[in-house]
DNA sequence: TATTCGTGTGGAACCGGTTCCTTTCCTGCC
DNA sequence: GGCAGGAAAGGAACCGGTTCCACACGAATA
């Protein structure tokens, strides 16, 4: 591998001039710029990123901390972040995080401070006060996706509103027995956004004076999770709700499949609404609240770059809109 | 942020000694080692990774190139790679790649040579001869997952065998009209493994003298893809096959849902078998061929590390086993 | 007693870039 | 003709680590 000294020697100039010629900063005559460029080409020279970042203090790398990407939302979000970063010539260092593991500790204590990332994107993470302090002390821009904490930029969907809108849709259709699929008795099991959705569901019920009928079924936010919970919920013919809100589309689809197997017609006997507008929602004709995680990824990068380029610019919070998409999994109560 | 010079000054020793004390290499008396450790603690010192890698030539970073993680297989694989790398204290730099984009060119020409990765894991990528040459010239260990190319280690599933076993299972059950869901008329649309699966299907038919009945339905390897293809395939009551092989479980499940909607009973009227043992397979009682992408991720890292630590060790190829898991989506032909 | 050897430590070079500062040269203006 | 100022280029310092080498010291060996 050739170094800039090799390039300089070949072009007959000093390292300083070669560096200026290649970066385009500072005075270099057109003819030598060309000579240096040719020399670099011939040697297939590519700057050593560690050397560059040591000299400049910028790593051109963004650290991304997120839960396992096995849910559609996260994989889409990651894709969005990836696209934007690649376009801006930033590298993406990925850290998976399992809630409550000691890996988390190591991450915040050693890894993040050691790698001098130009910025950090934290997805669905509610950092502890101590962790937040460590992050802020490092003075590096931080954008969080999902939870919002004072002092850093954030992009979030209004999960409360999303679930509220979904629930209101059912109420408007005349339903008075509406269950929620995808809560959890153990709040640690619930990601931040999911907890907010439970709240939105409860809010809508309360606003309609229906708080007494609230029923929250424990379920992981996955298709099998929704399936299992719905089997239980719908098994009792008598006490069965006439409508369901899924914590996410996966859970809602799982519930829909369970209903079909139990011979319960959707939407005539049971209305179902989800949240996300998952790629499968259309195929199941699922009424849902549309989110665009990919665009949220783009937005997160935009906010981060804003802070990297203008460290003194104020922190921003983007709340992306949620729109009801009515398909045919919901109908008026008979 | 404090540097090793600060630590050395505080402990009253030279930079050299401080470095040795912290890394544990070379002679340092126990008492000074302790003093240095204390000083580092007090200053919350963490080594600057760019400086370290410039000095040592190792970056403690592995580059991972993979398709978008929107398929279960890839997200599981990524999780496996992530776990193993984190445990070994390596960073993971992620690059998404869309087939045939010019991003790919930039990746191989500039990004990969510039970042001095200690190793590279390429997933589902068939590098061109030129790309391969660039990678090898950089002398960095390369492990590919999926495709296998001479001169680098690889971990792959035997996709041909997997689809063959799946097809043979149906043949043994007496089926003689077996279609494949998830081919593509445009081979560029097909990832490497998917193309192999088509081949395995054809092989099994040929071995049973059934090559004449081969029918391959174009479909993206997703649930909606399988659904759409199956709707078309099963729409014609007369010419409809009695069994289907899905290119992956997602496609197979999509087909299963299509069958249900069309009122075709599974497995009595239609047998379906998939490949992967996706997390949803159990819920749909899908007979399938089990893969363990997460373990493949672990294995890829193991192979890579082997090459990083012992550059002269021979290249290895691990082919992970596939086992038929019989559930209740397949039955004998009536 | 002189030599060797194993420890412990510091100075300085080095990794490969970037950038500050200085010098030289040339053009334009008073 | 003298001087200011801008363009072009090189020398050297610097970023923050690691490591080679030299040196000092005490104990063991000849």
- Read off the pLDDT of residues A238-249 as tens digits, 9 standing for 90 and up: 899 999 999 999
Strand C and A58 CB separated by under 7 Å: no
Q: What is the pLDDT of residue B188?
A: 65
Q: What is the CA radius of gyration of chain A?
A: 26
Q: Nearest residue on chain B to A112, judged by CA atoms? A: B46
Do residues B141 and B129 lie in contact, with contact meaning Cβ atoms separated by under 8 Å? Answer: no
Q: What is the pLDDT of residue B70?
A: 82
Buried b (16+ CB within 10 A) or exposed e, A232-247: ebbeeeeebbbbbbbb
Cis peptide before A311 (omega within 30 of 0): no
Measured CA to CA, the distance from residue A298 to residue A302 in angstroms comes to 6
Region A276-289 average pLDDT: 96
Buried b (16+ CB within 10 A) or exposed e, B155-167: bbbbbbbbbbbbb
Residue A108 has pLDDT above 90, yes or no: no
Is B224 within 8 Å of A76 when comparing Cβ atoms? no
Residue bearing tokens 């004998």:
B332
pLDDT in tens, A48-67: 999 999 999 999 999 999 98
pLDDT by position in tens, chain B (length 334): 899 999 999 999 999 999 999 999 999 999 999 999 999 999 999 999 999 999 999 999 999 999 888 888 899 999 999 999 999 999 999 998 876 666 777 888 777 888 899 999 999 877 777 777 777 777 789 999 987 777 789 998 899 999 999 999 999 999 999 999 998 877 666 777 889 999 999 999 999 999 999 999 999 999 999 999 999 999 988 899 999 999 999 999 999 999 999 999 999 999 999 999 999 999 999 999 999 999 999 999 999 999 999 988 999 999 988 899 999 999 998 7
* Closest residue, by C-alpha, to the C1' of C16: A51
Residue A100 has pLDDT above 70, yes or no: no
Q: Which among A252, A211, A213, A249 is positioned nearest to A230, based on CA atoms?
A: A252
Q: What is the pLDDT of residue B236?
A: 87
Q: How far is B125 from chain A (nearest CA, A)?
A: 18
- Measure Cα distances from A281 to A220, A330, B97, B205 in Å: 18, 13, 26, 36
Q: Which of chain C's bases lie under 7 Å from a protein CB? A: 7-20
Is A50 within 8 Å of B53 when comparing Cβ atoms? yes
Do residues A122 and A142 lie in contact, with contact meaning Cβ atoms separated by under 8 Å? Answer: yes
Q: How far is B110 from chain A (nearest CA, A)?
A: 7
Tell me, what DSSP letter sits at residue A186? S
Count of CB pairs separated by less than 8 Å, A with B: 119
Nearest CB among B1, B69, B91 relative to A115 is that of B91
Please report, in angstroms and rounded to a whole number, the separation of the first and last CA atoms in chain A: 75
Do residues B257 and B244 lie in contact, with contact meaning Cβ atoms separated by under 8 Å? Answer: no
Query: What is the CA B28 to C1' C12 distance in angstroms?
Result: 19
Q: What is the pLDDT of residue A101?
A: 66
Between residues B241 and A183, the one the model is more confident about: B241
What does the mean pLDDT of chain A come to? 92
Nearest CB among B44, B79, B280 relative to A68 is that of B79
Measured CA to CA, the distance from residue B53 to residue B263 in angstroms comes to 63
Q: Is A236 helix (H, G, I), strand (E, B) or coil?
A: coil
Between residues A161 and B151, the one the model is more confident about: A161
Do residues B244 and B179 lie in contact, with contact meaning Cβ atoms separated by under 8 Å? Answer: yes
Q: What is the pLDDT of residue B128?
A: 74
Q: Nearest residue on chain A to B227, judged by CA atoms? A: A283
- Measure Cα distances from B95 to A92, B98, B189 in Å: 8, 10, 20
Lowest mean pLDDT among A11-20, A129-138, A149-158, A267-276: A129-138
Is A76 within 8 Å of B70 when comparing Cβ atoms? yes
Residue A215 token pair = 């029923």
List chain B residues with CB under 8 Å of A114.
46-49
Percentage of residues in chain A having pLDDT higher than 70: 98
Tell me, what DSSP letter sits at residue B290? E
Q: How far is B208 from chain A (nearest CA, A)?
A: 36
Confidence category of residue A189, pLDDT binned at 50, 70, 90: low
The helix (H) or strand (E) run that includes residue A90 is none
The pairs formed by B201-205 with CB atoms below 8 angstroms and a separation of 24 or more are B201/B163, B201/B164, B201/B166, B201/B167, B201/B245, B203/B160, B203/B164, B204/B163, B204/B164, B204/B165, B204/B167, B204/B168, B204/B171, B205/B167, B205/B171, B205/B178
List chain A residues with CB under 8 Å of B280.
223-224
Q: Which among A257, A229, A269, A242 is positioned nearest to A178, based on CA atoms?
A: A242
Cβ-Cβ contacts under 8 Å for B182 (sequence gap 6 or more): B194, B197, B217, B219, B220, B221, B225, B226, B229, B246, B247, B248, B251
Measured CA to CA, the distance from residue A96 to residue A93 in angstroms comes to 10
Strand C and B234 CB separated by under 7 Å: no
Q: Which among A257, A102, A217 is positioned nearest to B254, based on CA atoms?
A: A257
DSSP-derived secondary structure for B71-118:
SHHHHHHHHHHHHHHHHTT-EEEEEE--TT-HHHHHIIIIIHHHTT-S
Is B279 within 8 Å of A254 when comparing Cβ atoms? no
Cis peptide before B267 (omega within 30 of 0): yes
Is B86 within 8 Å of A72 when comparing Cβ atoms? no
Query: What is the CA A14 to C1' C25 distance in angstroms?
Result: 18
């Amino acid at each position: 591998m050739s170094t800039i000294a090799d390039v300089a020697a070949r072009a007959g100039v000093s390292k300083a001039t070669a560096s200026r010629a290649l970066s385009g900063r500072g005075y270099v005559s057109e003819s030598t710029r060309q000579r240096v460029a040719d020399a670099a080409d011939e040697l297939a020279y590519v700057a050593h990123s560690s050397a560059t970042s040591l000299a400049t203090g910028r790593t051109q790398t963004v650290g991304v901390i997120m839960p396992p990407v096995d849910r559609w939302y996260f994989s889409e979000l990651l894709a969005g972040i990836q696209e934007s970063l690649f376009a801006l010539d930033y590298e993406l260092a990925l850290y998976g995080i399992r809630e409550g593991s000691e890996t988390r500790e190591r991450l915040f204590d050693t890894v993040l401070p050691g790698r001098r990332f130009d910025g950090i994107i934290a997805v669905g993470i509610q950092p502890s006060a101590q962790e937040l302090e460590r992050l802020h002390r490092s003075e590096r821009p931080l954008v969080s996706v999902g939870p919002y904490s004072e002092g850093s930029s954030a992009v979030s969907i209004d999960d409360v509103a999303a679930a509220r809108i979904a629930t209101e849709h059912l109420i408007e259709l005349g339903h008075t027995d509406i269950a929620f699929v995808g809560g959890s008795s153990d709040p640690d099991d619930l990601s931040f956004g999911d907890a907010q959705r439970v709240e939105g569901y409860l809010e809508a019920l309360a606003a309609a004076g229906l708080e007494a009928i609230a029923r929250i079924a424990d379920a992981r936010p996955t298709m099998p999770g929704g399936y299992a919970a719905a089997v239980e919920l719908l098994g009792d013919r008598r006490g069965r709700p006439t409508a369901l809100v899924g914590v996410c589309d996966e859970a809602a689809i799982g519930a829909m499949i369970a209903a079909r197997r139990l011979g319960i017609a959707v939407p005539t006997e049971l209305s179902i609404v989800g949240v996300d507008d998952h790629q499968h929602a259309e195929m199941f004709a699922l009424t849902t609240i549309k989110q665009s995680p990919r665009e949220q990824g783009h937005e997160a990068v935009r906010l981060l770059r804003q802070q990297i380029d203008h460290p003194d610019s104020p922190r921003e919070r983007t709340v992306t809109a949620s729109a009801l998409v009515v398909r045919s999994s919901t109908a008026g109560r008979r």
